[in-house]
Structure 1
Amino acid sequence: MLEIIDYRNFEIDNQVFIKPDFMNHNTVSGNKLRKLKYNLIEAKNDGLNTLLTFGGAFSNHISAVASAGQLLGFKTIGIIRGEELASKIESNATLSYAQSCGMSLKFISREHYRDKANSDFISGLHEEFGEFYLLPEGGTNALAIKGCEEILTEADKDFDYICCSVGTGGTISGLINSALPHQKIIGFPALKGDFLTEEITKFVTSTNWELITTYHFGGYGKVNNTLIEFINNFKATNTIQLDPIYTGKMMFGIYDLIEKGYFPKGSKILAIHTGGLQGIEGMNQRLKQQNKPLIV
């Protein structure tokens, strides 16, 4: 199994700390390692040597699965959203990296991609590729949540608030399940909409959590100059890189909530840095085309 690198929390100020879970592995890092851990064990136990999963052009999940497969001897298949990307692999850092790790890429239309959880669609993939271990988009399932329950440790017991970015809901579900009774979990969704609440409640029983849905900056993958400036200033001040899809929005939200008095005086806040740094290169390509400031 992939060895998890040890690390310590970073103190940003006397109220906010960052748990740098992105430092837990060199290439399969952050919550992606947590989500894959028990799924890869299950795949091995089932005698399956191929992993198949789904993702978009800059997917952290695609990158992590490709790397894990290369390191552990799994064949990997990525079903990629967007047929037009088939001719753009070399110019896409995520897809070119996944391919360099040995991942086979199949590009499908966005309309067809919506069928990714349909049983007939999955049966068709089995007919095409044979037997494989299926990993859902983003990696979230019961085994992924089991892995994410290991993010918090004894060293984190004194924090009052645990904050994380939210994509598919797996990481926050693990944090909710492992949090202590006095701790509140706050999630910052990277997507617009309130549908994630229903997804999360499938995996948790505690009520010690809340989603703050006002810091998505327009939706998944959307950024503006304010967010870019915040990310760059945060790195200059704290020497910690944030990504524009997830952790940048989370940290922006935390500091905005502090200014608005959301957290009681004297609260200790722990922000989980889940990774996603590999996506910065692709985002900068897009920003350059739009003549916007770059993430440095």
Structure 2
Amino acid sequence: MNQNININFSANISLTIKREDLIHPFVSGNKFRKLKYNLLQAKDENKETILTFGGAFSNHIAAVAYAGKEQGFKTIGIIRGDELLDKIEENPTLKFAQQNGMEFVFVSREEYRNKSEASFTEKLKNKFGDFYLVPEGGTNQLAVKGCEEILTDEDSEFDYICCAVGTGGTIAGLINSALPDQKILGFPALKGDFLIDEICIFAKKNNWELISDYHFGGYGKINLELIEFINSFLETNKVPLDPIYTGKMVFGVIDLISKNYFPPLSKILLIHTGGLQGIEGMNLKLRQKKLPILKTNV
């Protein structure tokens, strides 16, 4: 569902947000898109178990747990940080995943870095038997295929399409399905330029650019300015934004408009990739730091 955002800009720029977060109550946004064809493939291969990877407050872990239960799969989550083993009840994401049937394996951050190694996968197969492996964040060729379906015919009017970038699968899908005269802008949630290489694995065109100035210090980092922006945006536009991905992207786009980055009369589409389940976990951290919390409704 596309929703116009009522913000007055001097250059008559129009801003519309595509509410991918409304696709599914628990498997929302790009997670729904990324899992769609992976789950179909797992069924085609007669797999009974989905195994994947993620951190403490991972949208991907929560989505795989629910989607797996919904589709009749057993799910296993390899979780970064062995210190989380006895903290499941305190962690809303892990608690939700466990309630939806996911079995956890907690590994040290050092061991987690080896998750892509064949020896690591072999060890998991020896322990759990045959499984369908979905990478961390869900990005693979089938995930990109799902994300290519985000844009529809009604989106052909837009000059710019903007999205947050985590592992690169969502933006790759948008790049591949965009029209020749459309420009895709990605706003990384992480520091560093390594994402360019990751995106180029799957992207087939050169109609894109990464804007790396709005990560707010790196993955999972947030400050008072971003908190106030997200809360104000919710109050004004009745659209909740998550603090890890979409909130930073929307902040960045509006800041770029104020700096005359976009030509006059530009039509901009913002992709809301979901991730709202992570707000509860972020608010736990904000309370510990005695910062204002993120609101979830007006």
What is the TM-score when the length of structure 2 is the normalising length? 0.96
Partners in 2 of 1:70 and 1:204 — Cα distance?
Answer: 31
1:12 corresponding residue in structure 2: 5
Residues of 1 paired with 2:190 and 2:175: CA distance?
20
> What is the CA–CA distance in structure 2 between the aligned matches of 1:49 and 1:156, rounded to whole Å?
37
Distance in 1 separating the partners of 2:105 and 2:279: 23
Aligned residue for 1:276, secondary structure, equals coil
Aligned counterparts of 1:28 and 1:39: Cα–Cα separation in 2: 14
1:185 counterpart residue number: 184
* Structure 1 residue 35, shift from structure 2 partner: 0.2
Structure 1 ranges of 4+ moved more than 4 A = none
Residues of 2 paired with 1:106 and 1:293: CA distance?
A: 33
**Shift of the alpha carbon at 1:26?**
1.4
Aligned to 2:138: 139
Q: Tell me, what secondary structure is at the counterpart of 2:89?
A: coil
Q: Aligned AA for 1:268?
A: K
Q: How large is the Cα RMSD of the aligned pairs?
A: 0.6
Matches within 5 A, 1:58-97: 58-97=57-96
Partner Cα distance (1:36, 1:101) in 2: 16
Identity of aligned residues (%): 65
User: What is the CA deviation profile of residues 20-56 of structure 1, one whole-angstrom value per residue up to 9, with x for unaligned ones?
Assistant: 0011111111000000000000000000010000000
Distance 1:140 1:127 in 2: 24
Q: Distance in 2 between matches of 1:261 and 1:201?
A: 28
Q: Secondary structure at the match of 1:277?
A: coil
**1:260 corresponds to 2:259:** yes
Using the size of structure 1 for normalisation, the TM-score is 0.97
Separation in structure 1 between the aligned mates of residue 101 and residue 161 of structure 2, nearest angstrom: 37
Runs of 5+ consecutive residues of structure 2 not aligned to the other structure: 7-12
**Which amino acid is the alignment partner of residue 54 of structure 2?**
G
> Separation in 1 of the partners of 2:163 and 2:150?
11
Displacement of 1:204 after TM fit? 1.4
Cα distance in 2 for residues equivalent to 1:37 and 1:178: 17
Aligned residues: 289
Counterpart Cα distance in 2 of 1:191 and 1:204: 19
Alpha-carbon shift at residue 205 of structure 1 (Å): 2.2
Match for residue 278 of structure 1? Answer: 277
Q: Distance in 2 between matches of 1:111 and 1:27?
A: 30
User: What corresponds to 2:112 in structure 1?
Assistant: 113
Gapped runs of 5+ residues in structure 1? 1-7
Question: 1:39-58 alignment to 2 at 5 Å?
Answer: 39-58=38-57
